[in-house]
Amino acid sequence: MSQEFRLDKGGFINRDKKISFKFNGKQYFGYEGDTLASALIANGVHLVGRSFKYHRPRGFFGAGVDEPYAIVQLFRNNETDPNIKATEQELFEGLRAESVNCWPNVNFDIGAINNFFRMFIPAGFYYKTFMWPKSFWYKLYEPIIRKAAGFGKASIKHDQERYEHKYEYCDLLITGSGPSGLASAYAAAKNGAKVILAEDKPRFGGSLLTTDVNIGNQTGVEWTKKIISELKSMSNVIVKNRSQVFGYYDHNMLVMNERLSDHLPKTEKYTPKQRLWYIRAKEVIISSGSIERPLVFGNNDTPGVMLSSAAKEYIKVYGVIVGKKPLIFTNNDSGYETAIEFKKNGIDPLVLDTRNDPKSDIINEAKSLNIKIKISHVVVTAKGYKKVKSADIAKISDDKKHLSEIENVACDCICVSGFWTPSIHLASQSGNKSTFSEEIDAFIPDKSKQRETTVGSAKGIFTLEETLENAFESGFNLSKKITNNDNKISVPSVVEKKFTNHDKFWCVPLPKGKNYKRFLDFQNDVAVSDIELALREGYRSIEHVKRYTTLGMATDQGKTSNLNGLQLVSDVENKVVPQVGHTTFRPPYTPISIGAIVGREVGKHSKPTRKSPMHEWHKKNNAVFVDAGIWLRPRYYKKGNENLFEASKREAKNVRQNVGVCDVTTLGKIDIKGPDAAEFLNRVYTNAWLKLPIGKARYGVMLREDGIVMDDGTTTRISENHYHMTTTTAQAANVLSHLEYYLQLVWPELNVNVVSTTEQWAGAAIAGPNSRKLLQKLFTNKDVSNESLPFMGYTEGDFFGINAKIYRISFSGELAYEVNVESDYGNFMWEKIMEVGKEFNIQPYGTEALSTLRIEMGHVAGSELDGRTIPYDNSLEGLVSKKKDFIGKRSLDKAAFIRPDREKIVGVVPLDKKTSIPEGSYLVKDPKAKLPNPKLGHVSASCWSVEYDNPFSLAIIKDGKNMIGKKLYALSPLKNKSIHVEIVSSHYVDPEGKRVRS
């Protein structure tokens, strides 16, 4: 067997299936079922990275989600992922991983020079050093920190993987499949509840995979298999492995990330890489278990120092031994379990127990196996740089303050156990204020705030018997509340080893004259001395100490470091831990990829794309599209080598000279019906609506209650109690909500109904001097003369066998009609118009030409109705009724709104008649005045007037009505332009409006 640290038997790996992989360019192999960590350890690789601040060598510390060290850059199927925990990454054929945070390589790292200067990098170093001078920050500090800080590199390529989101509802969500999760899931499922059981790891069973216990007449592993297969066969249960419930949000909404493909060489077709589940659970059972705490001693970050539970997991799950001369350093019975596993596999461990007279079954078992045990002993410091070579150990006095009999013992790994910390993260996220348990020296969940119950070791229950009792009970009771069933499963009998009390001691004092670094946070390099310094400098709140020292702020969120940090603060401050309190747990429990959070809403899927029924025609005819809200609209139709400017000019000119057609399907349309419809419109719009005759349209302006213009558009009276309202494309949804608000809440006595019909109608605006001639040819049986269908008239007609609605309204200022047909006939209508219009020189025009046409006519649009202007500002005061009340009217009396020099819309023409004025330019008197140059107004919209063949802009300017004829400057600092301009009327073309009435 070529793997030096692999056992011949044991574990759940498949020794028949070899898997080859590369780490830092070197080829290795492992087995199916390995993690990257277990495979590397089996191959004797213990150096996997460098620490964050001092670039000290880093190995493996845990075997799962709590891992602070073994973070790698993963390469999979031409993609790369940073910050992958080697302890979680399952091995697949062809896996490639590299160390992070080291340069040029992990064995010789230049950054490690920090290690020799570490006296210069104490707590708060960044705050203290990089304060001044300011210019140094950009030039020197930031680039250096950027290069030195952080783990891994994000891929700069677009992520080709597919991520999905899923919504699910259940009675009980159970987070974790250890003994407590399995028991509560089983009890609840058998009682008829809809259950989701989520397990983060690939294998179910949690601690049952690594402890020698019996449940009923089966081993823990057998029992797990039985329960899981039974649960999987039940239709009311969803069982998921590789699924981390990482966030607990309001109203029992939990989010789970399912990793479907990360363990495979590449994602299979039609399968997402990861799936994010939004789960609304009636009840949540938190069975997330507990994480072993480290013991703190000198150089306790040396590769080879790891959690005793991790060492046991490598043996029991992967058949891998982490060392051949193990030192077990423990303050409780858990360390003995690991020692026994080593011994059973032919390796002699040495156990150092901090307690002075521990007695229990498991210690007796260890003794009977002839395991060497030293009580009242501690590790003073680990020795060795890239791997543990030996340890200085010592006897410790009963008051735990004095060391004696210091000696050096050879060892190649140090397995530490400082007792167990319940994983209360989810409970805490749900709002549960935790409480400190003196018995286990850790926080446990207190009173539930949401519908959440914690069971098992996550609650601080560490015997299997109690765990099962408690979990079966919880699963049954909670399911009974929901299903009203009464099918109770009896709790199976248990055989387990009894443990005795742990020792509260956790931090080994320094021997006289020694200054070993004793680390608390292994990822952020926070040592005991850093916390002590922060406290000496006056930091008291644990939240401040955390930020100042960065304790627990690394990607592992302090899963192994938080509690020891709190213990230290409480020791130094002479307080008890509950007085110190703990920092807030926030989601996510473990890092989640941005891809999973974003899901499928990527690129063009980040919002829906709406297309008009004529979209394909536009595409075929070289339309260049523009986003208008969520709609795609033709901006212009490209002919030959034309650019935007040339094409839109041609299109607009053709409207002024012949006839053009524009797709206006995107306009918001609202159908309004009911006997009180006229009264309602009269309250919604600023102008009068009670006397609008049937078959007539009217332009209207609506305000918000604060007097600001909300939207404008035409509304047509179709029949006695039926109106058709149009809104701007952008405001359609807001206007509908606005109308519903007043009808449902403010004036429920009005008998009116509103409904959006935007998608029901396809619209074509036919505009230009030839438009009537064209219309007559489209509606041959209809009299469309100026007398029969005057400006603002409405009629219906037969359009080649289809019913069409004809509105004589105009946005372009030309003689114009809008023809609407049912959406499905939109393309038919459009093609007919183009075909029949040929003889009148018809051309389609896009939004750019449409803008040109409305700007030179002085018609306002979104750029003027910008949420800051009132009717007066837009020269719409003629539409404001003095006689009746309407929404927002009372606000129009405000002093600011009736100021004599109130802003008003004007036209702007450059004196040279050549230079286009950038939109957003400021209008000022003196372009060279001292800054801030007093601003008179701003340019809201610009075009090239096709009527006069020179640039023309609209602007909203202070005292606008008295500014006509004045010369000002338009400044655009962005485009570095200063243009001498003249202020003219906003109605640049056809100010009397003769054309629309012609």
Partner 1 sequence: MLYIKCPHCGMRSQNEFAYGGDATVKRPELNKEISDSEWNNFVYLRKSPRGKHLELWQHISGCRQWIKVERDTLTHEIFKTFKAEE
| Residue numbers at the binding site for partner 1 (CB under 8 A) | 167, 249-253, 278, 280, 431, 449, 683, 705-706, 737, 740-741, 744-746, 748, 884-885, 890-891, 893
Quickly list DSSP for 817-873. Answer: EEEEEEGGGHHHHHHHHHHHHGGGTEEE--HHHHHHHHHHHT---TTTSSSS--GGG
Spatial distance between the Cα atoms of 84 and 86, rounded to a whole number of angstroms = 6
What's the min distance (Å) between Cβ of 269 and partner 1?
Answer: 30
Helix, strand, coil % (nearest 5) of the chain?
30, 30, 45
Spatial distance between the Cα atoms of 461 and 454, rounded to a whole number of angstroms = 10
Nearer to partner 1 (CB atom), residue 364 or residue 606: 606
Nearer to partner 1 (CB atom), residue 504 or residue 890: 890
Nearer to partner 1 (CB atom), residue 265 or residue 431: 431
Buried/exposed 29-43: b ≥16 CB within 10 Å, e otherwise: bbbbbbbbbbbbbbb
- Phi first, then psi: give them for residue 653, nearest 5 degrees: -60, -40
Spatial distance between the Cα atoms of 379 and 559, rounded to a whole number of angstroms = 22
Nearer to partner 1 (CB atom), residue 166 or residue 619: 166
E-assigned strand segments in 638-792: 659-663, 668-673, 697-703, 709-719, 722-727, 753-756, 761-767
What's the min distance (Å) between Cβ of 537 and partner 1?
Answer: 34
What's the min distance (Å) between Cβ of 334 and partner 1?
Answer: 39
Spatial distance between the Cα atoms of 58 and 40, rounded to a whole number of angstroms = 13
Nearer to partner 1 (CB atom), residue 290 or residue 434: 434
Q: Is the Cβ–Cβ distance between 337 and 361 less than 8 Å?
A: no
CA angle at 260 for the pair 271 and 24, rounded to the nearest 5°: 110
Q: H/E element holding 366? A: helix 361-368
Query: What single DSSP character describes residue 634?
Result: E
Q: Is the Cβ–Cβ distance between 278 and 105 less than 8 Å?
A: no
Nearer to partner 1 (CB atom), residue 438 or residue 706: 706
Nearer to partner 1 (CB atom), residue 156 or residue 745: 745
What's the min distance (Å) between Cβ of 733 and partner 1?
Answer: 8
What's the min distance (Å) between Cβ of 159 and partner 1?
Answer: 24
Nearer to partner 1 (CB atom), residue 745 or residue 974: 745
What's the min distance (Å) between Cβ of 885 and partner 1?
Answer: 4
Q: Is the Cβ–Cβ distance between 57 and 335 less than 8 Å?
A: no
Q: H/E element holding 41? A: helix 36-42
Q: Is the Cβ–Cβ distance between 697 and 792 less than 8 Å?
A: yes
Nearer to partner 1 (CB atom), residue 2 or residue 737: 737
Q: Is the Cβ–Cβ distance between 198 and 176 less than 8 Å?
A: yes
What's the min distance (Å) between Cβ of 887 and partner 1?
Answer: 9
What's the min distance (Å) between Cβ of 859 and partner 1?
Answer: 29
Phi-psi region of 770 (alpha: psi -120 to 50; beta: other; left: phi over 0): alpha
Q: Hey, what are 786's tokens?
A: 């100026």
What's the min distance (Å) between Cβ of 250 and partner 1?
Answer: 5
Spatial distance between the Cα atoms of 488 and 490, rounded to a whole number of angstroms = 6
In terms of DSSP bridges, do strands 659-663 and 668-673 run parallel, antiparallel, or are they unpaired? unpaired
Nearer to partner 1 (CB atom), residue 170 or residue 996: 170
Nearest CA among 323, 330, 288 for reference residue 309 = 330
Q: In whole angstroms, how far apart are CA 470 and each of 15, 179, 287, 546, 837?
A: 38, 11, 11, 35, 82
What's the min distance (Å) between Cβ of 874 and partner 1?
Answer: 21
Nearer to partner 1 (CB atom), residue 370 or residue 744: 744
Q: Hey, what are 247's tokens?
A: 């966030």
Q: Give the number of other CB atoms < 10 A from CB of residue 335.
A: 31
What's the min distance (Å) between Cβ of 737 and partner 1?
Answer: 6
Length of the chain in residues, anyone?
998
Nearer to partner 1 (CB atom), residue 706 or residue 798: 706
Could you tell me the sign of the dihedral formed by the alpha carbons of 477, 483, 487, 492, in that order?
negative
Nearest CA among 561, 525, 594 for reference residue 148 = 525
Residue 137 half-sphere exposure toward CB, CA atoms < 13 A = 10
What's the min distance (Å) between Cβ of 689 and partner 1?
Answer: 14
What's the min distance (Å) between Cβ of 426 and partner 1?
Answer: 16
What's the min distance (Å) between Cβ of 193 and partner 1?
Answer: 18
Query: What single DSSP character describes residue 297?
Result: -
Q: Helix, strand or coil for residue 776?
A: helix
What's the min distance (Å) between Cβ of 220 and partner 1?
Answer: 38
Nearest CA among 342, 323, 347, 353 for reference residue 414 = 323
Nearer to partner 1 (CB atom), residue 360 or residue 448: 448
What's the min distance (Å) between Cβ of 445 and partner 1?
Answer: 17
Nearer to partner 1 (CB atom), residue 389 or residue 884: 884
Nearer to partner 1 (CB atom), residue 630 or residue 929: 630
Q: In whole angstroms, how far apart are CA 205 and each of 210, 226, 678, 925, 960?
A: 9, 11, 70, 78, 77
Nearer to partner 1 (CB atom), residue 673 or residue 884: 884
What's the min distance (Å) between Cβ of 717 and partner 1?
Answer: 22
Q: In whole angstroms, how far apart are CA 259 and each of 255, 264, 277, 591?
A: 13, 10, 11, 13
Nearer to partner 1 (CB atom), residue 157 or residue 447: 447
Nearer to partner 1 (CB atom), residue 449 or residue 975: 449
H helix count then E strand count, the chain: 25, 50
What's the min distance (Å) between Cβ of 693 and partner 1?
Answer: 24
